[in-house]
């Protein structure tokens, strides 16, 4: 089940919200937990057992760590190591075991050894996000940032809460648990949440899904031209952002409709003037997680320039590997790690010092798009093919293989997306500076989302909306 499905919109969500707001407060968390399990188990009921096992292990190990943290520090550290190994090992089995086997086969194949057969492993949806939540819970208890006073149900709800279980954001237990313990609902939040949910739905269905066929067509070409490659890479750049930020908008909106405030995950990342700034604006919950639970424990920037460079590269390579078990994801992480290192060494975050803001944004976007090619390509060979096209090896103009596949709706969606990315924040800033009475009138324009939402519903009913891209990670 996904947010942009008829089953969720017309059955699950109305029934859930009606019962959630009619039930007394003491029963509301039970209902939210049960609904979260149904939401997750609808995809594959057997993987619900894995979610329950992860929740139980996190709760139990958290209590052991808390009980040992003060008087038996070594034991608490051992319990933490056990928990991290358990959760990382689970993720590694489902996500990386076949990648490891393929790597070994590639190495042994040159020596004439017999290939190891791949395992029939199905990746549980959203397992990467659940794993990071469980690890942060244990580490925060070990550090004393939170206590382990929550019962099993509360920890299970933190890990499985349905707006976040597929693609985040990766909220911290210390931020979410206190909200679950009190009634924070309001009509104002519910209305704001409904609007936020509808905007996210429109971003996913009307923009991301509309440009996806164009991106898919270009990445499938065997000899993409210069125009083909940049058009396809630009289409994927739009698709990924509107798909993932659309999911975040829907998740945050769902939280507000329940009286919960989730972490924001995006702050206009395509307006960044550097890669350093980009990672402060893109997938904020992941980048802050990597910073707090990986970069800082490795030593951060406290152990000299050489160690700082190594730490940045390690964090970004592992961040790339977190996204997927493929060489392309590793190289994508290394690309961003290298750019971050260069900016750190130059002590100037801008790609080209002295450039005006528009040019700095343009150069940063080119660097980001180059990285997205690796992120999207099905193989290293496909990425090399795209890079060849981007420098004009296969010609300059639109190829005949692509020209007939360009859809008017995709082009219109690209134009609307570009306007939203680069003009939207400017308009929002101007509206915020208006006098209160005019601002209320301007904010009323947000109601334009209703006809767009209805259009998205029609499009959804007429066809289908694929899984959110980050649901695969």
Domain boundaries, the chain: 6-183, 189-273+350-467
Q: Which of 356, 390, 132 is nearest to 237 (CA)?
A: 390
Looking at the predicted structure, is the pLDDT value of residue 149 above 70?
no
Q: What is the pTM of this model?
A: 0.90
Tokens of 1: 């089940």
Least confident stretch, 283-292, 304-313, 455-464: 455-464
- Give the span between the Cα atoms of 121 and 54, in whole angstroms: 18
Residue tagged active-site, from 21, 73, 283, 323: 323
- Contact assessment for residue 216 and residue 468, using Cβ atoms and an 8 Å cutoff: no
**pLDDT at res. 163:** 94
Token reading at 448? 């334009």
Which pLDDT band, with edges at 50, 70 and 90, does 184 fall under?
confident
The candidate with the shortest Cα–Cα distance to 61, out of 174, 142, 170, is: 142
Question: Ramachandran region of residue 112, left (φ > 0), alpha (ψ -120 to 50) or beta?
Answer: left
DSSP 334: H
First to last CA, the chain: 16
- The mean pLDDT value for 64-92 works out to 90
Q: Give just the sign of the alpha carbon dihedral 174, 299, 265, 213.
A: negative
Place of tokens 């080119």: 366
The answer, yes or no, to whether residue 465 has pLDDT greater than 70, is no
Sign of CA dihedral 136, 140, 143, 149: negative
Give the torsion through C-alpha atoms of 138, 141, 145, 151, to 10 deg. 100
* DSSP states along 444-470: HGGGGHHHHHHHHHHHHHHS--PPPGG
pLDDT grade for 456, boundaries at 50, 70 and 90: confident
Give the pLDDT mean for 317-329: 90
Percent of the chain whose predicted confidence (pLDDT) is above 90? 60
Task: Find the radius of gyration of the CA atoms of the chain.
Answer: 23
Reported as a single tens digit per residue, the pLDDT across 398-445 is: 888 888 888 888 899 999 999 888 887 766 655 555 565 555 555 566
pLDDT digits (tens, 9 = 90+) for 151-175: 899 999 999 999 999 888 999 999 9
Angle between helices 226-257 and 357-376 (to 10 degrees): 90
CA 231 to the chain's CA centroid = 24
Note if 336 is an active site residue: no
């Amino acid at each position: 089940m996904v947010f942009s499905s008829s089953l969720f919109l017309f059955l699950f969500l109305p029934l859930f919200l009606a019962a959630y707001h009619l039930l007394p407060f003491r029963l509301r968390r039970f209902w939210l937990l049960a609904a979260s399990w149904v939401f997750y188990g609808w995809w594959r009921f057997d993987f619900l057992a894995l979610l329950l096992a992860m929740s139980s292990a996190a709760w139990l190990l958290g209590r052991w760590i808390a009980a040992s943290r003060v008087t038996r520090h070594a034991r608490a550290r051992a319990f933490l190591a056990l928990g991290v190994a358990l959760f990382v090992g689970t993720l590694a089995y489902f996500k990386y075991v076949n990648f490891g086997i393929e790597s070994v086969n590639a190495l042994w194949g040159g020596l004439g050894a017999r290939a190891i057969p791949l395992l029939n492993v199905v990746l549980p949806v959203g397992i990467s996000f659940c794993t990071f939540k469980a690890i942060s819970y244990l580490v925060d208890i070990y550090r004393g940032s939170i206590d382990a006073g929550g019962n099993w149900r509360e920890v299970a709800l933190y890990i499985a809460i349905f707006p976040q279980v597929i693609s985040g954001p990766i909220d911290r237990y210390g931020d979410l648990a206190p909200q679950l313990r009190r009634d924070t609902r309001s009509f104002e939040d519910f209305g704001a949440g409904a609007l936020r949910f509808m905007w996210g739905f429109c971003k996913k269905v009307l923009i991301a899904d509309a440009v996806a066929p164009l991106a898919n067509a270009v990445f499938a070409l065997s000899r993409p031209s210069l125009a083909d490659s940049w058009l396809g890479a630009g289409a994927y750049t739009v698709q990924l952002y509107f798909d993932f930020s659309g999911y975040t908008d829907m998740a945050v909106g769902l939280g507000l409709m329940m009286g919960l405030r989730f972490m924001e995950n995006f702050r206009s990342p395509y307006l960044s003037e550097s890669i350093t700034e980009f990672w402060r604006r893109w997938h904020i919950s992941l980048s802050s997680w990597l910073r707090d639970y990986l970069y800082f424990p490795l030593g951060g920037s406290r152990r000299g320039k050489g160690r700082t460079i190594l730490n940045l590269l390690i964090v970004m390579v592992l961040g790339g590997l977190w996204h997927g078990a493929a060489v392309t994801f590793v190289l994508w992480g290394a690309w961003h790690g290298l750019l971050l290192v260069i900016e750190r060494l130059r002590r100037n975050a801008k790609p080209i010092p002295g450039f005006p803001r528009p040019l700095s944004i343009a150069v940063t976007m080119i660097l980001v798009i180059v990285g997205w090619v690796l992120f999207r390509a099905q193989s290293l060979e496909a990425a090399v093919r795209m890079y060849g096209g981007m420098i004009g090896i296969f010609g300059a103009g639109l190829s005949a293989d692509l020209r007939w596949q360009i859809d008017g709706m995709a082009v219109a969606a690209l134009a609307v997306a570009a306007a939203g990315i680069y003009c939207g924040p400017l308009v929002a800033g101007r509206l915020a500076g208006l006098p209160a009475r005019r601002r209320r009138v301007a904010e009323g324009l947000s109601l334009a989302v209703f006809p767009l939402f209805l259009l998205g519903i029609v499009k959804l009913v007429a066809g289908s909306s694929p899984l959110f891209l980050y649901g695969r990670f």
